[in-house]
Amino acid sequence: MSDPITDQRLLYIHDQLSDEDIQREVDLYGPLTDSVRQLIAATLQTEVGEPDVRRAKALVEEAAAILQERAIPGPYGVRWGASGWKRGWGNAADGVRNAVAPPLTIQTDPDGRTWTDFHLGPQYEGPAGLTHGGVSALILDQVLGDCAVAAGSPGMTGTLTLRYRKPTPLGDLHAEARFDRMDGVKAIVKGHIADAAGICVEAEGIFILPRWAREAAAASTAG
Amino acid sequence: MSDPITDQRLLYIHDQLSDEDIQREVDLYGPLTDSVRQLIAATLQTEVGEPDVRRAKALVEEAAAILQERAIPGPYGVRWGASGWKRGWGNAADGVRNAVAPPLTIQTDPDGRTWTDFHLGPQYEGPAGLTHGGVSALILDQVLGDCAVAAGSPGMTGTLTLRYRKPTPLGDLHAEARFDRMDGVKAIVKGHIADAAGICVEAEGIFILPRWAREAAAASTAG
């Protein structure tokens, strides 16, 4: 078994990259990740015959081999540059370098409302033609968690409750969250996903920073 | 706005494929999708320089262009072959043709316990080095939903409640669900995700087949 405290310390990385170097990485890796997103959709939608599938597969493997020539061995972790620019680029919901992520660009207004407009392609399907309920959960977990951070109460998800009010289509969607209240050390945040016609999924999340995470963050800052 | 009833009818497809033809598709598209999964990880983990990234990106785009030469225009939907073999191959949690899916191979025991052993790579990260809480939700939504189907009460997710008991590592994990009880038309299912040391996330789901879905399924069967 891995030890989460040790792992967490190793993966909180202060690499002192300059903003210019980080922007260069965004400009380099961001478009690659977008191309992989399109490949994911094409892999799901293709009806070409066997020779073409085998040709495409060989190209995909050639690309992966090039990228694997020099690569980190595990998850990306969370990294901070010299100016404090935080990179959670491996994040499954909003990671710039994670082709599984839609990705989300999450913003927070001065009044604390945290929101994102995003597009879900065919790779986020659950019921036929609709967004997977678990994908809605993934997005709401991220948006509610970011809202807790913006409210000054960062934490890991303690409880997440989702109410599916009507089917969530694929395509253009909106998600938002508002900080509701503190209950001791727990931050309670509420939000929803909506399409153009109204709310599809409502969510309430309780976010808590567990002691081991506070200790790991403190050790990382000290190091 | 799209009309979910119309969309649902279009995407419940009875294509009468033989089991042999379906198996041929599994053997053809499954390995392609696995290669794309490895590419997703490599895209996230790579540290190669700009020329190599651009070379890999060109190969990815060439592969996508080959696959897009003949492709369905939208989501995969749910398809049934002549023998009743159901294919939800676009599903974000367990789709054979969806590289976003880990994928899950979900099984049901004779006593109704629905379960899966699976592996999560670096593309499922949330907190540094750990599984994203929303990815756990995606997996539990699918396993609990499949358990409702196995219990004879298929439905869409009405409510999903997740309790995060301890951090969920990446790597080898187990998820399972058991049918709890009916409450009118609602099927209530409980389950969890565990690592080798015990339960990480508990879930309770309420699954309901909404009228529009019953009508769409009936129209599809009639057609």
Distance CA B59, CA A60 (A): 7
How is residue A122 written in tokens? 């065919």
pLDDT of the residue at A25 = 96
Task: For A171-192, write each residue's pLDDT tens digit.
Answer: 999 999 999 999 988 999 999 9
* Sequence-distant (≥ 6) Cβ neighbours of residue A79 within 8 angstroms: A13, A14, A15, A17, A86, A87, A89
Pick from A181-185, A214-218, B36-40 the range whose average pLDDT is largest: B36-40
Task: For B79-117, write each residue's pLDDT tens digit.
Answer: 999 999 999 999 999 999 999 999 999 999 999 899 999
Q: Amino acid letter at A136?
A: S
* Sequence-distant (≥ 6) Cβ neighbours of residue A166 within 8 angstroms: A198, A199, A200
In chain A, the residue whose alpha carbon lies closest to the alpha carbon of B86 is A128
* Sequence-distant (≥ 6) Cβ neighbours of residue B146 within 8 angstroms: B106, B108, B114, B177
* Sequence-distant (≥ 6) Cβ neighbours of residue B118 within 8 angstroms: B102, B103, B104, B105, B139, B172, B173, B174, B175
Write out the residue limits of the CATH 3.10.129.10 domain(s) in chain B. Answer: 104-223
Distance CA A128, CA B7 (A): 8
Assign domain A104-223 one CATH number from 3.40.50.2020, 2.40.170.20, 3.40.50.10240, 3.10.129.10: 3.10.129.10
* Sequence-distant (≥ 6) Cβ neighbours of residue A91 within 8 angstroms: A98, A101, A142, B125, B126, B132
pLDDT of the residue at B4 = 46
- Which percentage of chain A shows pLDDT scores above 90? 84
- Going by C-alpha positions, the residue among B182, B154, B68, B1 that lies closest to residue A200 is B1
Angle of helix A50-68 relative to helix B50-68, nearest 10 degrees, comes to: 170
Question: Does A213 touch chain B if contact means CB atoms closer than 8 Å?
Answer: yes
pLDDT of the residue at B7 = 55
Question: Does A218 touch chain B if contact means CB atoms closer than 8 Å?
Answer: no
User: Which residues 35-54 of A are in CB contact (within 8 Å) with B?
Assistant: 35-36, 38-40, 42-48, 50, 52-53
pLDDT of the residue at A213 = 67
DSSP bridge pairs for A208: A156
- Going by C-alpha positions, the residue among B117, B112, B125, B89 that lies closest to residue B17 is B89
Q: Amino acid letter at B16?
A: Q
Worst-scoring range by mean pLDDT, A1-10, A100-109, B179-188? A1-10
**Banded pLDDT at B61 (limits 50, 70, 90):** very high
- Going by C-alpha positions, the residue among B209, B60, B74, B121 that lies closest to residue A44 is B74
Distances (CA, A) of B138 to A211, B22, B201: 26, 26, 12
Question: Does A145 touch chain B if contact means CB atoms closer than 8 Å?
Answer: yes
**Banded pLDDT at A95 (limits 50, 70, 90):** very high
How is residue B206 written in tokens? 């309420």
User: Which residues 70-129 of B are in CB contact (within 8 Å) with A?
Assistant: 70-78, 88-93, 95, 97-100, 122-129
The residue among B217 and A62 whose pLDDT is bigger is: A62
Distances (CA, A) of A80 to A16, A18, B51, B172: 7, 10, 25, 28
pLDDT of the residue at B210 = 75
Worst-scoring range by mean pLDDT, A159-163, B170-174, B218-222? B218-222
As to burial, measured by CB atoms within 10 angstroms (0-12 exposed, 13-18 middle, 19+ buried), residue B177 is buried
pLDDT of the residue at B12 = 87
**Banded pLDDT at A217 (limits 50, 70, 90):** low
Chain A CB contacts of B163 below 8 Å: 158-159
pLDDT of the residue at B3 = 46
Distance CA B187, CA B158 (A): 10
Alpha-carbon torsion angle B41, B45, B50, B55, nearest 10:
-20
DSSP bridge pairs for A192: A176, A202
* Mean pLDDT for the stretch of residues A60-65: 98
Cα-based angle B202, B203, B206 (whole degrees, multiple of 5): 165
Residue A80 contacts residue A87 (beta carbons within 8 Å) = yes
Side-chain-side CA neighbours of B59 within 13 Å: the count stands at 22
Task: For B151-175, write each residue's pLDDT tens digit.
Answer: 999 888 999 999 999 999 999 999 9
pLDDT of the residue at A64 = 98
